[in-house]
Amino acid sequence: QVQLVESGGGLVQPGGSLRLSCAASGDIFRINAMGWYRQAPGKQREMVATITSAGRTNYADSVKGRFTISRDNAKIPVHLQMNSLKPEDTAVYYCNAVYRRYGSSTNSWGQGTQVTVSS
């Protein structure tokens, strides 16, 4: 099992910055990739940024140049630095981990943390 806990959400003004963190516990050595997803009311959950165990990153077009995903040296925890925040970034942000258990890939999700961008 892999357990994820997000932190760092809150209320910020447009143009501000926020850093989210995701702490993982359990069988973290089995994690292949981690990422951040977000879901706003009335919208589908979307990928924001992902990072593989090899350090490869991928970003949604809407956040490129503004958001940065990173890992600590031990690969856990993972962070999301969010700069130049816009109102449309408002959403619940979820940490995700893809890990292997006996040859099968399994997803783990955190409980989510609210990010609100408003003046």
- Which long-range contacts does 36-43 make (Cβ < 8 Å, 24+ apart)? 36/69, 36/78, 36/80, 36/93, 36/94, 36/95, 36/96, 37/93, 37/94, 37/96, 38/89, 38/91, 38/92, 38/93, 38/94, 38/115, 39/91, 39/92, 39/94, 40/90, 40/91, 40/92, 43/91
Q: What is the pLDDT of residues 57-109, one digit of tens each?
A: 999 999 999 999 999 866 678 999 999 999 999 999 999 999 998 889 999 99
pLDDT score at 77: 84
Residue 3 scores a pLDDT above 80: yes
What percent of the chain has a predicted confidence (pLDDT) above 70?
A: 97
pLDDT score at 72: 85
